[in-house]
Structures are given as C-alpha cells and as structure tokens.
Amino acid sequence: MVMRMLPRATTKPFYAALCVIALVFTGTGPAGAEQKPLQADEAFRLSATRTPDGTLALRWQIAPGTYLYRDSLKAKRAGASVALATGPGEEKDDPNFGPVEVYHRAAEATTAGLPGAGALDVSYQGCAEAGICYPVVNRQVDLASLRIEAAPPASFADTAPAASVPVALVASEAAPQGAEALFNGNFGLLLVAFLGFGLLLAFTPCVFPMLPILSGILAGGGTRPTPARGFALSGVYGLAMATAYGVLGIAAGWSGANLQAALQTTWALGLMAVLFLALALSMFGLFEMAMPAWLAARLPRGGLSPKEGGSLAGAGALGFASALVVGPCVTPPLAAAMLYAAQTGDAVRGGAALFMLGLGMAVPLVLVGTFGAQIMPRSGAWLSRIKQVCGVLFLGVAAVLAARLLPAPAGLALWGGLALGLGVFLGGLDRTIPGSAPPARLGKATGLVAIIYGATLIVGAAGGGDDPLRPLGALAGAPRVASAGVQDTRVSSPAALDAAFAAAQKEGRPVLVSFTAGWCTVCKSNEAVMAEPGLQSRLAQMPRIAADVTAYGEGERALMSRFSVVGPPTLFLLDASGREVPGSRHIGALTTADIEGLMAKAGL
Amino acid sequence: MRRRDFIRLAALSVLPPALALAGAKQALAQGIDVDAILRDPDAPTGGNPDGDVTIVAFLDYNCPFCKKSAPDLERIVNEDGHIRLIYKDWPILTEASVYGAQLALAAKFQGKYETVHNALMRIPGRKIPQEQMLKVVQGTDVDMARLDLDLKLHGAEISALLKRNLAQADSLGLQGTPTYLVGPLLASTLDYSSFKRAVAEARRRQAAEK
C-alpha cells in the first residue's frame, strides 16, 4: 500500500452510508444545511492548455470554501523540478500559521519550454476553511494530449525506511562540530584524531597540576634519574593516565546513558565547581597538588620511595589517580568524547578513543620526564604568575558552574566577590608611594577597576539584578521593578506558581506565565522586547508570573510537565480558572506583534 | 472566535455495532477492519485506557488545523477523564511530516510518544522542516541516543504502522487532516466546546446501541 492521496474511484459507496446523518452541533444555524467538506479532487480541479507560443498553462478551479497554497504548486518532469510561474495569491495571515499566500476560486501556473510529448508531474495542496487540510494531490499531465491523469505515488509516498536522527545533531551540544567527520571515519583515523586532541589538551593549563606530581616521582630519590629511568617512570605514568581515560571511555560506551543530562545535574555541577575551586587554590600555592598522604601510603611500595626514585608501580598508580584529578578540567572535550562513546554504544571504540586522548596528553609529560627540566623553561617568578593566572581562570570556571546552581542574583554576587578578590590581589588596595614603579601603579589601577566592578555587581545583586553587563539595571529603572503594578513573581515549583497565581488573580485578569532560565539568551531578548516603551505601560497592567527553570530540579520539572513546556522561552496566558488560554502560547523569540496579540487576548 | 465554526459530525453508521462487536462483519465486508483501527497494538494511545469513548485522531505534524485543535483535544481528554485516545500518524502533507511521525513513533519505545507529539504539535506553521522538528525534540527530555537506536531497530515496524494508518484512512475515505473519530462520529477541526458536545453525543449514541 503506498501513500495514496485520494480514493481513486468516485466517492466510495461505503462513504455514502457513512455520512447518512450529518450532524452540525454548533449553533451555526443555516450552516447546518451545508455540505460536508469536499474530497480534495472535488475541491481542486486541474486542467491544462497550451498557448499559441507553446507555453503550458495549468489551471485550477477551486471550490468555494477551499483554498490552495501558492507555494504548494509544484511540477516535475522525469524527476527534475520544473519552474512554474504563478501569480500573487491572497495574503492569509493567521496568527497561528503565519502569513501565507493562498488562492481562492481559481489559480493559474505557466511554464514554457516543455517538449510536446511526455508527462509532467504536478502536485498541489490546500485546505478547506472548515478546518481540514487535504493531502498533497498528484496528477500527471500528458504533454501531448494535455489529459490529466492520476499520478503515480507521491514523492514521499513510500515511506522511506526510518530516517535516522543524525548523530551530529544529537551530540551538537557538546561535540566539537568538526570532529563529527572524524568520528565516522575509520578506526585508525579516529585514534590519530584523539591523540591529536590529547596533545592539544596537554598545552592547556589542565595538565599543570600533573607536573608537580611527576616531578615528585622523578625527584623521589633526591637526585635526578637517568634519562632511561626517567623515560620509564614518566612513560608508565602517562600510560596509566591514558588507561584511566580508556576505562572512562569503556564505561561510557557500555552505559549508553545520556551523559550530557547526567553532567547537568546539580551534583555533577556542584562537584565540578568544588574541584575547580580546589585546583585554583592549589595554583595560588595554598597546597601542593599531590596525592593525599593516606592514599600515597597505600600505593604499592610507596610511590615516592626515597632510595630509588619513584617505583614504576607507584608511578603507574599516581598516573591513574591524577588522570581522575584533572578529569574535571578537561570536562568539555572529555564529555564530548564520552558522549560519542556512549552514542556508538561501542565500548571498544569509546575506550580506545579516550585512551588515545590520554596518551596525547601524556606525550609532553614523557618528554619532560626523559629529558628533564632542560626542555622546560626555567622556573621562577614568572611561573608563579602563570599559575596565578590559571588559578583565576579556574576560579572563573568554578563560578560559572556554581552560578548555574544559584539564583541569578546570587550568581552575580559570586562574580562580584571574585572580581573583588582579583582586585585585591592585583594590588588595588596596596599603598603606592611616590617612588612606585609604573607596573605597580598599573596593577593598582587594574585592581581598583576590578574592585569597583565587583562592588557594583554585589550591589546590583542585592537589588535583584542578574545581568553582569547591567548590574544596576534593576535599581536604575529597569522596567519590571520601576513600573508600578507589574507583577513579575518568580516561581520555580507548582506550589509557588499556584500561590502566585492566586495572588495575581485578585485583579481578575488573565495572567501571563513565562518560562525562563538564567542561561536562556532568547528569554533575555524577549524581556527587552517587552520593555519597549510602547508596550511597557500596557503590559504593566497584566499580572505576570515568571517560571524560572534555571536550576531544573524537581519543582521545575513538575512545573514544566504540568504545562507541557518543552523549555524556555515559553509564554502563555492563564485565564481566571487557571486554564491556559487557547492559542496564547508562544515559544521562542517574541516580536512586538506577538505581545500585542497576547495583550489583545488578555483584553488589554 | 474568528474561524467560522462549521463543524461536521457525520455519524459513522457502521462503527457503533462494530464497537459492540456485533457488526464487525458488516464493516469487514466494506473493507474496513474496525478492530485494526481501534485496537492496533502498535498505535500510541493516550487518555484513559479504560475510557468509554474512543477518539481516534488522524494527524499530520505540518497540518495547521491539527495544531490549532491539538490543545483542545488535550484538554477534553484530560478533563473528561474517560476518553481513550488513539493517535494515528497520517503524514500526508509534507515530507517532513513523515519524519516527524517517525520521531514520535520512535519515542514511543521509551514511553515518550506524547512528549514528542505535543512538542511537534506546538510548533506553529505548516512547513516545518525536519531540522526544526529535530531541534524541538532535542529540547524535550527524550533520550536522543535511544531514539536514534530505536529508529534503527524498529524502523520497519514504524514504516509498517504508518502504512497501516494510510490504508485505514483510505478505507474510511477520510479527506484530510485532522480527522477525529469520536466514538461513532467523524469530524475535522473541533474546538473545545465542540469536542465536548461530540463526546456527549457519542456517549448518547453508544448508550442507545446497547
């Protein structure tokens, strides 16, 4: 059975029996006498003629109460599409469907340059005003006789075997775009690619904490080991590190679970924030990044045996463990790789890919281990500077992660604190004496800027602000606080929404509910649209509830499923009985026209 | 209400006895397998599985009228509480409609048919391309890796179901989307109050048949 668009024959006898009784339930009165909507081939009658110059003209007779979409008129010859010239249709602008051009009563399309024989496949589609859309109609025009015949099956008639969801799109959130091609390539290419990724990662500050660990192993004996011994030790260390990643890859491949979702949970975000904080503190020299003593003591034969430099087993154990220590630092690429592994559901492939990633990361470490510090730039004050810069970066990453777990103003305050701290460390509060060198003064100036910015952020946060670029916007007359009477209560659970709704209901007007989230940039631009002067004053009369789903906890999930909200930004009106006003839902970016429409629905 | 509220509810004179399992033969004689329409084990269902009225919804994910009436259908099913809803994906309007139906039917294997269905029905418009459909589905809590796998594993099943739906719509002589079979009645676009009346009328007729 192919997707037949229409009953071939005239109306089936059965259908007559089917419609013995036509009931019109609504009070349209005389409309009750109206016929049922026509079948598509009754609604649209196609004919073809040739003009003297050979142009083929297709004409449709369109039954009253039905219409054809201009953009649906299509023609094909031998599988290749043929351009049709069509006249402008009537603009039909239904807020639900967007502006479209339709033809009523009649339509015409012309095409020139067709041969005098053969067949032209024509397809078209339309709807009846009564509220039904007809299937695509396919007809064949015999170019010699100009007779119209029922066409062979429509283009998409034979449902193609399940179209697979492209993996690239599934993973698009995390996987680097360019990597996709490599993922699908052959196995060897995949391994080389991941080795390369690992090498790149080795030049990020992520690998920094490993250097002190490795040098601890190498310098275990107090003297520098021979290059051979150094190579062996650092090689084992690197292999063990790569193995740790390989194990992760195998686990990801096995689980096939939605790792991306798992990485977005409160726990995962919190844990990563804490780890980054620890990394940052270690960069500032608060403690040395090394194995905890209790763990080191349990390592086989003591990883840092004083006599013989590090033992191979100790180096291996440390390598395995330190891969896990820096794990969070390489989370984004690692998550992408693990997602890939999870999607393939292929543990071997996933494991091998991540093993190569670890190996790539280990290459510079092995070089350092073998040739010693000669190939490393001499340590000195500059190194501690670099470590401090890395520390600040790590703190920033920790703040980004933590901010996603906190209410928006609290996140802003966190940034403020970070900026303040940075300012102090830059010397913003140090005393400059008349003889201070320019670099010190520059540091102080930068520090002061950071301090003032940080303080501003904290003040803004206290005032309910959440925009790092306009921290005082909430205080300085931003719309929702400044305009009296605007109810923009923020809720994040069904119970809170009910309470807010009950409070807003006192005004007896429909309530605008908008789902938003801190990370939702479209929501921000929507708020900007609503703040436009022309709309703001009228909008101010509409009670508003903002459902904040930034955190995506249990309450937020319940709230979203209650209103079948897929994600922010989603807006709709609730009527006095708490029901969604039909047709009031908007998803995505808003225009002023959308808001006008909403206000009209709300009776404003 | 701007739309001219013209509703046609034609009585499906064959269906009531079939529902009572008495006139199935008659229906079969006319090439309609009533049981296949109402009890296709693969067809996604919603509402109350033990409901006394069955609504069969023939829908397309690029059908504006389907999208218009979808919230009202959802509401009547939820509020009535005794409606059994059967979804018949009938992709007849665009090629992307087939894709959307495949996504939704694949999501059924992880119990998320209605999630995907509702998400797709909420994209306004009549020419939504595949990419946009996929994006919207990615925005739901559907496990995309699993969906992909299910599409591969159950692709043939899904295609077979879609072809069955087509054959059923054809045997009923349906004109287009949306078509709702409300008990023994047949209708196209309905709003909430018309759904309500149709369901009440279906109950009345079913009671009269007994």
Give A482-498 pLDDT, tens digit per residue: 333 344 788 888 888 88
- A95: pLDDT strictly greater than 60: no
Nearest to A394 by CA among A310, A473, A325, A446: A325
At residue A371, what is the residue type?
F
Question: Which domain does B150 fall in, by range?
Answer: 10-209
Pair A285, A197 in one domain: yes
Query: Is residue A7 in a domain?
Result: no
Instruction: Compute how many other C-beta atoms are within 10 angstroms of the C-beta atom of residue A429.
Output: 12
> How confident is the model over B129-147, as a mean pLDDT?
91
Position with higher pLDDT, A314 vs B22: A314
> How confident is the model over B142-152, as a mean pLDDT?
91
pLDDT given for residue A226 in this prediction: 75
- A98: pLDDT strictly greater than 60: yes
Exposure letters A228-259 (e unless 16+ CB within 10 A, then b): ebbbbbbbbbbbbbbbbbbbbbbbbbebbebb
Of A94, A128, A162, the CB nearest to B159: A162
> How confident is the model over B96-121, as a mean pLDDT?
94
Distance from CA of B151 to the nearest CA of A (A): 6
- B111: pLDDT strictly greater than 80: yes
Alpha-carbon span A167 to A343, nearest angstrom = 8
Determine contact: B208 vs chain A, CB below 8 A.
Answer: no
Phi/psi at A349 (5° precision): -65, -45
Query: Is residue A109 in a domain?
Result: yes
Q: How many CB pairs under 8 A join A and B?
A: 237
Q: Supply the CATH number for residue A123's domain.
A: 2.60.40.1250
According to the per-residue pLDDT averaged within each range, which of A54-68, A83-97, A260-274, A337-351 is highest? A54-68
Say how many domains are in chain A.
4
Of A25, A98, A160, the CB nearest to B201: A25
Q: With the CA atoms of B199, B202, B204 and B208 taken in that order, what torsion angle do they form, in degrees rounded to the nearest 10?
A: -170
pLDDT given for residue A391 in this prediction: 74
Position with higher pLDDT, A120 vs A483: A120
Q: Supply the CATH number for residue B139's domain.
A: 3.40.30.10
Query: Is residue B129 in a domain?
Result: yes
Pair A204, A353 in one domain: yes
Of B146, B155, B186, the CB nearest to A162: B155
Determine contact: A161 vs chain B, CB below 8 A.
Answer: yes
Q: Which residue in chain B is spatially nearest to A2 when comparing CA positions?
A: B163
Pair A497, A553 in one domain: yes
- A185: pLDDT strictly greater than 70: no
Of B5, B14, B125, the CB nearest to A18: B14
pLDDT given for residue B97 in this prediction: 92
Q: For residue A468, what are the contacts with CB-CB under 8 A and spacing of at least 6? A: A412, A415, A457
Chain A residues within an 8 Å CB radius of B65? 127, 131-133
Pair A489, A451 in one domain: no
Question: Which domain does A488 fall in, by range?
Answer: 482-601
- A518: pLDDT strictly greater than 50: yes
Pair A214, A276 in one domain: yes
Distance from CA of B106 to the nearest CA of A (A): 9
pLDDT given for residue A26 in this prediction: 30
pLDDT given for residue B60 in this prediction: 95
Instruction: Compute how many other C-beta atoms are within 10 angstroms of the C-beta atom of residue A601.
Output: 18
Position A252 confidence tier, pLDDT thresholds 50, 70, 90:
low
Pair A93, A200 in one domain: no
Position A171 confidence tier, pLDDT thresholds 50, 70, 90:
very low
Query: Is residue B1 in a domain?
Result: no
Residue A470: both structure tokens together = 């306009």
Q: For residue A335, what are the contacts with CB-CB under 8 A and spacing of at least 6? A: A174, A259, A260, A263
- A387: pLDDT strictly greater than 80: no
- The residue written with tokens 């090689």 in the block is A235
> How confident is the model over B148-153, as a mean pLDDT?
89
Determine contact: B36 vs chain A, CB below 8 A.
Answer: no
pLDDT given for residue A300 in this prediction: 42
Query: Is residue B2 in a domain?
Result: no
pLDDT given for residue A265 in this prediction: 63
> How confident is the model over A523-529, as a mean pLDDT?
76
> How confident is the model over B99-112, as a mean pLDDT?
94
In angstroms, how far is CA A301 from the centroid of its own chain?
A: 48
Q: Which residue in chain A is spatially nearest to B197 when comparing CA positions?
A: A25
pLDDT given for residue B106 in this prediction: 95
Look at strands B83-89 and B53-59 and give their pairing: parallel
Q: What is the pLDDT of residues A23-68, one digit of tens each?
A: 223 333 333 333 456 788 888 999 999 888 888 999 999 998 889 9
In angstroms, how far is CA A74 from the centroid of its own chain?
A: 35
Query: Is residue B152 in a domain?
Result: yes
> How confident is the model over A192-201, as a mean pLDDT?
79
Q: What is the pLDDT of residues A365-377, one digit of tens each?
A: 788 777 765 555 5
Look at strands B185-187 and B179-182 and give their pairing: antiparallel
Of the listed ranges A542-546, A580-584, B110-114, B153-157, the one predicted with least confidence: A580-584
Query: Is residue A5 in a domain?
Result: no
Of the listed ranges A326-340, A423-437, A457-471, B45-59, the one predicted with least confidence: A326-340
Residue A546: both structure tokens together = 């903002």
Position A166 confidence tier, pLDDT thresholds 50, 70, 90:
very low
**Of A427, A457, A476, the domain-final residue:** A476
- The residue written with tokens 């006394």 in the block is B52
Pair A468, A540 in one domain: no
DSSP-derived 3-state class of residue A441:
helix
**DSSP-assigned letters across all residues of A376-440:** SPPPSHHHHHHHHHHHHHHHHHHHHHHHTTS-HHHHHHHHHHHHHHHHHHTTTTSPPPTT--HHH
pLDDT given for residue A390 in this prediction: 67
Q: Are B10 and A18 an interchain contact pair (Cβ–Cβ within 8 Å)?
A: yes
Query: Is the CB of residue A213 less than 8 Å from the CB of residue A292?
Result: no
Alpha-carbon span B76 to A568, nearest angstrom = 26
Pair A181, A270 in one domain: yes
Position A175 confidence tier, pLDDT thresholds 50, 70, 90:
very low
Position A334 confidence tier, pLDDT thresholds 50, 70, 90:
low
Pair A452, A492 in one domain: no
Pair A197, A333 in one domain: yes
Determine contact: A520 vs chain B, CB below 8 A.
Answer: no
pLDDT given for residue A412 in this prediction: 86
Pair A218, A300 in one domain: yes
> How confident is the model over B146-171, as a mean pLDDT?
89
Look at strands A137-142 and A148-150 and give their pairing: antiparallel
Of A129, A132, A256, the CB nearest to B177: A132
Say how many domains are in chain B.
1
Position B91 confidence tier, pLDDT thresholds 50, 70, 90:
very high
Distance from CA of A246 to the nearest CA of B (A): 21
